[in-house]
Structure 1
Amino acid sequence: MPDDSPTTPETVAPALRPATRAVHAGRPARDPDAPLNTPLTMAATYVGGGDLEYGRYGNPTWTAFEDALGSLEGGRALAFSSGLGAVATVLDLVANDAVVVAPRHAYQGTLGQLGDLQLRGRVQSRLVDIADTDAVVAACDDAAIVWIESPTNPALEVADIPAIVAAAHEAGAYVVVDNTFATPLLQQPLDQGADIVLHSATKFIAGHSDALLGAVVTRDPQLYDVLKGRRDLLGAIPGTLEAWLALRGLRTLHLRVERSQANAVELVRRLEAHPAIERVRYPGFGAIVAIEVAKGPLAADLLCRSTRLWVFATSLGGVESSLERRRRWKGEATTIPESLVRLSVGVEDVDDLWDDLVQALDQLG
Structure 2
Amino acid sequence: MTDAASNALPAAEGHPGHLAPDTVVVSAGRPERVHDAAVNPPVVLSSTFVGRGEVEHGDRAYGRYSNPSWDPFEETLAELEGSRLPGLVFASGLAAVSAALSLLPPGGVLVMPQHSYQGSLAVAGQLADRGALTLRTVEIADTEAVKAQLAGADMLWLETPTNPMLEIAELKALTEAAHAAGALVVADNTFSTPLGQRPLESGVDVVVHSVTKYLAGHSDVILGAVVTPDEALRRRLVEHRSLHGAVAGPFETWLALRGVRTLALRIERSQATAALLAGRLLAHPGVEAVRYPGLVQDPGHERARAQMDGFGSIIAILVKGGAEAAETVVEALRLWVPATSLGGVESLIERRRRHVNEPESVPENLLRLSVGIENPEDLWADLAQALEKAQA
Global fold match (TM > 0.5)? yes
SS at match of 2:32: coil
**CA deviation profile, 1:56-104 (whole Å, cap 9, x unmatched):** 1111111110011111001131000000001111112212211000000
User: Counterpart in 1 of 2:65?
Assistant: 57
User: Counterpart in 1 of 2:10?
Assistant: 12
Q: How is 1:1-365 mapped onto 2 (pairs within 5 angstroms)?
A: 9-12=7-10, 14-49=17-52, 51-75=59-83, 76-284=86-294, 285-364=311-390, 365=392
Distance 2:35 2:372 in 1: 38
TM-score for the superposition, normalised by structure 2: 0.90
**CA deviation profile, 1:190-230 (whole Å, cap 9, x unmatched):** 00110000000100000000010000111111111111111
Unpaired runs of at least 5, structure 2: 12-16, 295-310
Distance 1:9 1:320 in 2: 34
Distance 2:238 2:122 in 1: 23
Distance 1:348 1:47 in 2: 47
How far 1:11 sits from its partner (Å)?
4.9
Distance 1:250 1:41 in 2: 19
**CA deviation profile, 1:160-200 (whole Å, cap 9, x unmatched):** 01010011000110000000000000100000110000000
Letter in 1 for 2:196: L
Unpaired runs of at least 5, structure 1: 1-6
Distance 2:103 2:205 in 1: 13
Letter in 2 for 1:123: L
TM-score for the superposition, normalised by structure 1: 0.96
**Corresponding residue pairs, total:** 359
Q: Is the 8 A contact 1:105 1:333 kept in 2?
A: yes
SS at match of 2:368: strand
Distance 1:188 1:11 in 2: 21
SS at match of 1:60: coil
User: Counterpart in 2 of 1:4?
Assistant: none
How far 1:8 sits from its partner (Å)?
7.7
Letter in 2 for 1:250: V
Q: Is the 8 A contact 1:9 1:24 kept in 2?
A: no
SS at match of 1:72: helix
Q: Is the 8 A contact 2:290 2:317 kept in 1?
A: yes
**CA deviation profile, 1:135-162 (whole Å, cap 9, x unmatched):** 1111111111100000000000000010
Distance 2:323 2:94 in 1: 28
Distance 2:217 2:377 in 1: 22
Distance 1:222 1:351 in 2: 50
Q: Which moved more, 1:75-84 or 1:11-20?
A: 11-20
Letter in 1 for 2:39: L
SS at match of 1:299: helix
Letter in 2 for 1:62: W
Letter in 1 for 2:274: A
Aligned residues: percent identity? 53
Distance 2:127 2:281 in 1: 40
Q: Is the 8 A contact 1:287 1:344 kept in 2?
A: yes
SS at match of 1:335: coil
Q: Is the 8 A contact 1:117 1:123 kept in 2?
A: yes
How far 1:9 sits from its partner (Å)?
4.9
How far 1:36 sits from its partner (Å)?
0.3
**CA deviation profile, 1:243-291 (whole Å, cap 9, x unmatched):** 0111000001000011000000000111111100000000120000000
Distance 1:220 1:91 in 2: 16
Distance 1:207 1:147 in 2: 24
Letter in 1 for 2:225: A
Distance 1:17 1:38 in 2: 22
Distance 1:264 1:352 in 2: 13
Letter in 2 for 1:12: P
Q: Is the 8 A contact 2:9 2:19 kept in 1?
A: no
SS at match of 1:358: helix
- The runs of at least 4 aligned residues of structure 1 exceeding 2 Å deviation read 11-15
SS at match of 2:87: strand
